[in-house]
C-alpha cells in the first residue's frame, strides 16, 4: 500500500493521520466541487439537487433531501438511510464514516464533526495531525437547530436532541437530550 492509501485508511479507521495527502485532497476537492454545485442551485431545482447529492454522499445511501447552504468534507463517508432530511447550514466533517438511519432529521445550523486534533501533544497539534472517529445516528431521530455532535458519538433510535445541545457521549434509544453537554432528561415512549 502506498503512503496516500495508508493516510486514507488511517483517516477513516480512527488512527492519527496527516491531512493533505494527494489521495485525501483529491476526494476532499471532489466533494467541495459537488457541494458548490448543490449550493449554487439555491434550493430551486430538487431534481438536479438529487443527482448532485447522489454523487456527493456514499453510493449506498437512500433518498436524502438537503437544504443548502451545506458545508461538507468527505461526503463519500456520509451514508444516509431512506427519507433523511438535512436542513440549512449543516456543517458535516466526515473524515470518518457518518451513518444516518432512516427518517433522521437534522435541524438548521447543525454540526456533525468526526475529526479532532491532539489535546496533550503540542508538537503533534503544531504539525497538523488529526484523528477521526465515526458518528452514528439511529432511525427516526431528530436533531433540533444548532446541535453539535462530536467525534465517536452514537445516538440511538427514536431520539430527540434539543436545540443547542452539544452531544459528547453515546445516547441510548428513545432519549430526550438537552443541554451543553447534552444529558438525557427523560426516556420517550416507544
- Is 122 catalytic? The answer is no
Total domains, the chain? 1
22-65 residue pLDDT tens: 879 999 999 999 999 999 999 999 999 999 999 999 999 999 99
pTM over 0.85: yes
4: left (phi over 0), alpha (psi -120 to 50) or beta: alpha
- Mean per-residue pLDDT for 172-183? 98
The secondary element (H helix, E strand) that includes residue 22 is: helix 22-41
CATH for 135: 2.160.10.10
Q: In what order do the strands lie in the sheet with 16-17?
A: 16-17, 130-132, 115-116
Mean pLDDT (whole number) for 116-123: 96
- b/e string for 115-144 if b means 16 or more Cβ within 10 A? bbebeeeeebeeeeebbbbbbbbbbbbbbb
Containing structural domain, residue 104: 3-187
Amino acid at each position: 500500500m502506498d503512503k496516500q492509501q495508508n493516510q486514507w485508511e488511517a483517516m477513516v479507521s480512527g488512527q492519527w493521520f496527516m491531512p493533505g495527502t494527494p489521495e485525501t485532497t483529491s476526494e476532499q476537492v471532489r466533494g467541495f466541487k459537488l457541494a458548490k454545485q448543490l449550493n449554487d442551485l439555491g434550493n430551486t431545482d430538487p431534481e438536479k439537487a438529487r443527482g448532485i447529492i447522489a454523487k456527493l454522499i456514499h453510493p449506498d445511501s437512500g433518498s436524502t433531501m438537503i437544504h443548502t447552504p451545506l458545508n461538507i468534507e468527505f461526503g463519500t463517508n456520509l451514508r444516509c438511510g431512506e427519507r433523511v432530511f438535512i436542513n440549512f447550514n449543516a456543517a458535516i466533517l466526515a473524515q470518518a464514516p457518518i451513518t444516518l438511519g432512516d427518517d433522521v432529521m437534522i435541524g438548521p445550523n447543525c454540526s456533525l464533526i468526526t475529526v479532532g486534533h491532539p489535546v496533550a501533544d503540542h508538537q503533534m497539534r503544531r504539525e497538523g495531525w488529526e484523528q477521526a472517529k465515526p458518528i452514528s445516528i439511529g432511525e427516526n431521530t431528530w436533531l433540533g437547530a444548532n446541535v453539535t455532535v462530536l467525534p465517536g458519538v452514537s445516538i440511538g433510535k427514536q431520539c430527540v436532541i434539543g436545540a443547542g445541545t452539544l452531544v459528547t457521549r453515546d445516547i441510548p434509544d428513545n432519549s430526550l437530550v438537552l443541554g451543553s453537554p447534552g444529558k438525557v432528561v427523560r426516556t420517550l415512549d416507544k
